[in-house]
Amino acid sequence: MRSLAAHTEASSRRSSQLFLYFTLFIMVVSSVGYAFLSSPSTDQPLPDASGPKGVQNQGNGVWTANVYGASFQFFTDPVVVSAVVFESNLTFAELASATLEYNVQSPGLGEALGMTLGQLVQSQPVCIGPCTEDIPERDCTTPVISWNQTAPLNRVYQRNQCVFIEGTRTAFDAWIYRVTDLA
């Protein structure tokens, strides 16, 4: 009888081990399957990527939006730009009615404008006030954009027809979002 009891006990242990291995196998396969099936594709926008007014999160720190038939790239989340102090009422229609002029003493502004509004309107560098360079001088009676990237706070304000963007790319993106009515 002992051999029958020993056989039954060994069979029971083997059944328990098989059940344990089968359960572990199912858990590992389901975890791996979930990880692969639930991760976002790198070539598609994230499933919840649609922001305000069609701004799309590309998942790599870049947001895009189609504006008046042109594709704009932003480097700031449209939710974050709402914290930027904004005191300007210049509209895109006012900017697009003539050549978009920007302060040549604002490093990077010409390039940033070229990637955004420069797709829709012509732009040219100017000086605000007296200038030593051979470019037009303006006194803010016509729209001029100026960007001071070294300012300590992000803000956008307007004096007469000049718009002054102060701070990081976040402030510039806030201005573009607002002037194109994306935020």
Taking the domains of the chain in order of start, what are their residue ranges?
Answer: 1-39, 82-179
State the pTM of this model: 0.68
pLDDT in tens, 25-77: 565 555 545 444 443 433 333 333 444 577 888 888 899 998 888 888 888 99
| Distance separating alpha carbons of residues 144 and 103, to the nearest angstrom | 7
| Distance separating alpha carbons of residues 32 and 30, to the nearest angstrom | 6
CA 10 to chain centre: 63
Q: Could you tell me where the DSSP H helices lie in the chain?
A: 2-38, 92-96, 109-115, 169-179
Is 170's pLDDT higher than 90?
yes
Is 173's pLDDT higher than 80?
yes
Task: Please report the pLDDT score of residue 44 as a whole number.
Answer: 35
Are 156 and 164 spatial neighbours (Cβ–Cβ below 8 Å)?
A: yes
Mean of pLDDT over the chain: 79
| Distance separating alpha carbons of residues 171 and 181, to the nearest angstrom | 15
